[in-house]
Structure 1
């Protein structure tokens, strides 16, 4: 009987309507703008009113900014409420659509100018599968030192840039720039070292943030080939950075690289992101988002190393289940995965049931945070400990889609009286908009920062991943109401069966940014680190602060280089630290 019911269900399921972008005028292999044809196909899909598949036939499609969709949007950790960047240009806009699959095995989408690759807004049950996204001219310059020495008593370097990088030598400077766009100007430009540099050593597979000596004390600059630039210096100090790659960019995150906004049941499957401009793929105030079998990695043989301008994937204020599995994260400029909520500072308290809240960090503002029925928690900003909780009854806040209301202020009215005089020293988190998380079988490499940064109070499992030479921690648990304002506590975190290879900081770093702490003042709890393999040089396997009930057991630790404690506990209580079978007892240092 069970089988019969399943067969009936399959037969009753609607057959998806199939639409091909070539049927709307897109021409694979042409450099002409495929954007209008793609937009027409997506509009037709929205009009179907049932399951629909939009197909990209194999081939290369070029998407130019002139005819792309534009929306006023406010996105976490980008440019805040800066009016210069209100409007985002979006190559693929999926808006107010349910039951849509976009497939594109063998399809390569090349973006021109500065754009968001895709946006899923106000939609349900959307799947992007098999597409490849890249930029004609990435907004990060990867400059490899291919020669260096002393000539005529002065130092010199020869740097090589990828074919996709555009530049002009202007006197003793280099102007890096994007393509000429419809207005007649270039999409972007900057000089010499730009605003930010990180350094990549392909020989050892390590990337770090550091100073850029390429354009210091320059005597002259000249092109010595289509992709090579010779820089001569005023000094005679022999350069010692042959083979290193200086990765240079601006620091303005004017677009999200991709966006899932106010949507649910969205899946990215087998998508290849060769470059993401701006702030990576951001899932904001969305529910049940999955990223699986995706590649965040530059094209092989391109000479490029930077696949992302900042983070690769960020989940902000999400709920339901977040899953990231079987992906490759290679070459970002910030964290490959960041999952958090947002603390808002209590700026005023008109009465005991009303709070005036504000966004504080300059890169986050302008979007809605609450809905009636959401539960909020008030915390002491110094300790991050809860002070009170309540349910939202009414809210006045920005929409995230316009600037009709103040972009930094939110007023909530709750169902119960709160303590008085909360202004200034308290912050508020929406605890309803917090996801459960599963991060499994991913590879992280060439990362200057952390592999995974996570703060959510629901169940988190991080298992079977490989973290190769992170610049900082492999897994970092933070939370703060003073700097980034990324909330909140972890309550149930399991880190098991992972491999941490030579991280630049503690392999697992539990470091809430509370300014007052003590053994009885725990921010995080329920952290289990079990069955992992750590290969370490001068850093601990676990460094934890203000955490209750840590369990560290069954781990295998291989050490070389400088000796360090295996576990560092700072103001932690009820910790259970045990050796794995046949292992020596972990060396533990307790502070506070």
Structure 2
């Protein structure tokens, strides 16, 4: 009996001391150390429950800073937060989230030297309806990467033989290749193949994508090797063949309807989608972010390093390194919704078309929007929204303050008119699949002091109302003091700088889709003669740029002009 009483007293005393410790720290500096909640590094145990307690405490008590000590922390999905998410350009679904920040204001997670390692399909960070939040100092990695990387043994006659290390457990079941985690329970399905050069640690010269699904005929040829039947497959023995995931289920950091978010000095080694994705948010800063592969691998994030959808205010990307991801370094754009029905002179039924944009609430009452011809991308009318009624993840009813223009027609698209100021500065983009940066804004864009080494276009702009439905077009764009180092050694672009427009020519008497583009004081080291491809530009200046022919790669056999200008006016190109 006495023993039970003593035990109870000790338990209550410990709880009181814990509470006092937290309160004391909170009062003294509005700072809490996560160790107070039992979080310890390098244990190998699941850290999810301790982080959950810490974040719940910080939310209740309006803590200003949560500190996490250096060391490794492992996160498993069993005790994470759970929430259903619609994520632009990623796949929606019910997510297991390790760090879920909802409604946080004036808050920072500071974790210099902390290594966050996630297991399975655990999504690292979600910030929702937050303001003035900073994440700094830590790294993100996964115990099992979402891609599988194999060594090419032989290629020929529609067959590819590849060997895999023990990091990529696999089985051949019913003549189908399937990848698993170390437990053999979690599957990692693949959707496309891409060859990488392990010496240069980049996509192989002129490599192409093989979109194969997960239905290739396979036969196991050894304990660690498999032969796949792929028509027209090409590759070089000794190179790496990357089996990329057929989904984008697990981006690393998701920012939704937030303002004043800063991500500083974070390293990302892998992801199951975008590295950093922000949507419907304002004033975002990404600084000193490093996206790079884990040791011995050739792929980092399995999609874009960073991505911004329907964001406003100022977007700043500075002093970053984005390398070896399976898609672009950044993509900044809006979303077009397709007009499905004119319900009344004041009301439209609109649709989100691409499956990776479903569920996006991109419009709000009092927003100004543009009506855009789906073929020419010409904006022919503007309107102000009175009310928005989302019917489901596909369809939304929009009621407007005034009567709609009679020009509005079915299958045209609707987009927002407020776009961000974009600053991309002192950043290296290299060795990734596809393009460097995709930029869209009618406000202003500045790309300065950056280095691009990209298999396709280094800088691309444009709008799309046929597949991705990404709202684009640029005004007031400056590209200055950059190095374009051996770009276009792959198959993902029409030129180093590619300014695109609609599918069909716009009428001669309407404004061009892109306007006021300045390219000056850059250095171009060429392995392909195509420097600029510009469509529908009013005001293009190319001056004081240094152009060097490189011998680092075979020079492209395409006999193309360095400057291809279509439907463009007020063009001033200064050649050496």
TM-score after normalising by structure 1? 0.84
Aligned to 2:16: none
Aligned to 2:569: 573
What root-mean-square deviation, in Å, do the aligned CA atoms of Structure 1 and Structure 2 show?
Answer: 2.8
Question: In 2, Cα distance between the equivalents of 1:218 and 1:25?
Answer: 48
Question: In 1, Cα distance between the equivalents of 2:119 and 2:134?
Answer: 24
Aligned to 2:501: 512
Of 533, 546, 561, the match for 1:556: 546
Can you list the C-alpha shifts for 1:202-247, whole angstroms capped at 9, x where unaligned? 323431433499x988664212xxxxx2446999x99961331111
Can you list the C-alpha shifts for 1:146-203, whole angstroms capped at 9, x where unaligned? x5599xxxx9956343x543334668765311254xxxx723244xxx3211111132
Aligned to 2:247: 252
Question: In 2, Cα distance between the equivalents of 1:546 and 1:76?
Answer: 28
Aligned to 2:127: 120
Question: In 2, Cα distance between the equivalents of 1:449 and 1:103?
Answer: 33
Q: How many residues are aligned here?
A: 532
Question: In 2, Cα distance between the equivalents of 1:473 and 1:372?
Answer: 38
Of 346, 350, 365, the match for 2:358: 365
Aligned to 1:547: 537
Question: In 1, Cα distance between the equivalents of 2:434 and 2:229?
Answer: 34
Question: In 1, Cα distance between the equivalents of 2:128 and 2:151?
Answer: 39
1:569 to 1:97, Cα distance in 2 relative to 1, 3 A: same
Aligned-partner SS, 1:36: helix
Matched, 1:420 2:406: yes
Cα displacement (A) at 1:367: 2.2
Can you list the C-alpha shifts for 1:331-353, whole angstroms capped at 9, x where unaligned? 11111200000011111122222
Aligned to 1:166: 169
Matched, 1:23 2:13: no
Task: Assess if the C-alpha contact under 8 Å between 2:519 and 2:541 holds in 1.
Answer: yes
Aligned-partner SS, 2:60: helix
Of 312, 316, 325, the match for 2:309: 316
Of 227, 239, 242, the match for 2:237: 242
Aligned to 2:15: none
Aligned-partner SS, 2:569: coil
Aligned-partner SS, 2:55: helix
Structure 2 gap ranges (5+): 1-26
Matched, 1:203 2:199: yes
> Equivalent residues in 2 for 1:412-561 (5 A)?
412-420=398-406, 422-432=408-418, 434-468=419-453, 470-504=454-488, 505=493, 506-517=495-506, 520-521=509-510, 522-560=512-550, 561=555
Aligned-partner SS, 1:187: coil
1:64 to 1:352, Cα distance in 2 relative to 1, 3 A: same
Question: In 1, Cα distance between the equivalents of 2:543 and 2:168?
Answer: 48
Of 160, 170, 178, the match for 2:181: 178
Of 280, 287, 294, the match for 1:292: 287
Question: In 2, Cα distance between the equivalents of 1:125 and 1:532?
Answer: 35
Deviates more, 1:255-264 or 1:310-319: 255-264
TM-score after normalising by structure 2? 0.86
Aligned to 2:394: 408
Question: In 2, Cα distance between the equivalents of 1:425 and 1:149?
Answer: 45
Matched, 1:262 2:257: yes
Question: In 2, Cα distance between the equivalents of 1:351 and 1:210?
Answer: 46
Can you list the C-alpha shifts for 1:488-515, whole angstroms capped at 9, x where unaligned? 3211111111111222241100012332
